[in-house]
Amino acid sequence: MGTGTVAPSATRTSACHWLSRGNLKILLDCGPGALHRLAEFGLPWHQVTHVVLSHFHPDHWGELPMLVYALKYTTVPSRTEPLVILGPPGVVRLVRRSHRATDRGCSTPGSPFGILDVRDGDPFPLDAE
């Protein structure tokens, strides 16, 4: 969906990759412009199951609060599936701070929310399906 940088571009969007297999729908990074690109390509962004953040540069996670807001306010019927966010150590703190900064907007009533710091050597938890 995007391989650009933080520098504005009319033709490139910040980092975001869509991976899908069966019911598993993963965003690898969620940089600015990601949601519009997903919609442009007709991908079911509202069915995303996991967001995996590679690191904390804003061009890799900056649209994550927008994704959560979109899932909270624009899906009909309301979303009930959990959204799992994975990232390097510090991702739990990042999401909690975003939650507070957006007036508790990073929570989705009726939809569970999982956040996990992944460290080197940890088993990758996506095989829990």
**pLDDT by 10-residue block (mean), the chain, 129 residues:** 71 86 94 91 92 89 87 78 86 79 57 68 46
In the block, which residue shows the tokens 């899906």? 75
Q: What is the pLDDT of residue 95?
A: 82
Q: What is the pLDDT of residue 10?
A: 76
